[in-house]
Amino acid sequence: MKLHIDIDCFFVSAHRIYNPKLNNIPVAVGGRSNLSIFDRKNSCSSISKIKGAFTSSILSNNRNISFEEYFMDRNKKIRGIITTSSYEARAYGVKTAMSVAEALRWCPGLTVIPPNYELYHELSHKLKEFLQKEIPHIEQFSIDEFFGDVSGWIEEKDIRDFASDLKQKILANTGLPVSIGISNSKWIAKLSTEFAKPNGIKYTPKEEIYGFTKDLPIEVFPGIGRGYQEKLQSRNIHTLGDIRENRSLLYSWKKPGMQLYNRVCGIDGEEIAVEKDKKSIALARTFDPVFSRDELKRMISILCRHLSFLSIKNNYTPPYFLFAYKVSIRVQVQREYKNKQGFQRIKP
């Protein structure tokens, strides 16, 4: 039996732990490309304890920064996008990836908070350590999602009570509200979580998978991106039930199609993944056009120093030629973009 544990509105919930005034009001956490590493003034950063490709490694401290300092540029224009919104904010139409300026138009009473990644990583790591004591096998899927396998440990008849007890323990130990999806299949458990939110539990036994999924649109299933949606829709496949009825077609698409079909039917048999070391490390920053060659050199030098620092801290020994090649490609892409937009050319 598999569990999928998802922290409700994680970034907002994290702030609410330390600021009860944020409870029961529209709240959102916004974000911008973190350019603080290029600042000439001293700043404080830390290394994340979370290992995985889904998360940043270097965390900047924004604990005491104001809305104006973080979201407003030098021309007093509001920048940034929404990364997480509370359910109170979602009722006004505020959603992830919406610009902060647009979100404030939709919900004038919205409280928008600068992100505090140190806090999020600290709480995520704390939750993982707690879950490892409560569940035999844990996989951290993202900063706010975990899979757990309790097969052979918790009987099926007791699984709801176990999940309910686990929810209460998580809240008591971390202050975080979570929703839990349960099924014999890893991906049906994850899908179930979407229908458990907010702060609920949904158990989908094997015999109920077809009835639960048959009328759901394909876009709700984890892992079906926009490109694959278009491919399915071009074959008149619009629901998960349609996928189930087109086994031959899906299997003709080889591994991706077979994998999707099996996951939708709950017969994938996929186990909880063992945590693996990162295969690569990277630092990427998006910034406005820079026309000074000296400034670009300075910024690239800073990125190189940060990558070197991460390599040393994690005992990595990447080949120098590979690292240099990646940096040169990044610069070339930026240079070509400037040329297309009619900006001043920067010579190699």
- Residues tagged active-site: 145
- Cβ atoms 204, 216 nearer than 8 A: no
Cβ neighbours for 26, distance < 8 A, ≥ 6 positions apart: 85, 86, 88, 89, 91, 92, 94, 107, 109, 110, 111
8 Å CB contact between 235 and 253? no
Task: Return the biggest CA–CA distance within the chain.
Answer: 69
**Euclidean distance between CA atoms 268 and 265, whole angstroms:** 8
Treating both helix axes as pointing N-terminal to C-terminal, what angle do 320-340 and 293-313 enclose, rounded to 10 degrees?
150
Would you say how long the chain is, in residues? 348
Distance in angstroms (rounded) separating the CA atoms of residues 46 and 63? 13
Give φ, ψ of 106 to 5 degrees. Answer: -70, -35
CA 91 to CA 98: how far, in whole Å? 14
CA distance 3 to 147: 6
Supply the angle between the helices 117-134 and 159-174 in degrees, to the nearest 10: 140
As a whole number of angstroms, the distance between CA 249 and CA 251 comes to: 5
HSE, CB side, 13 Å, CA atoms: give it for residue 345: 4
What tokens appear for 319 in the block? 């080949």
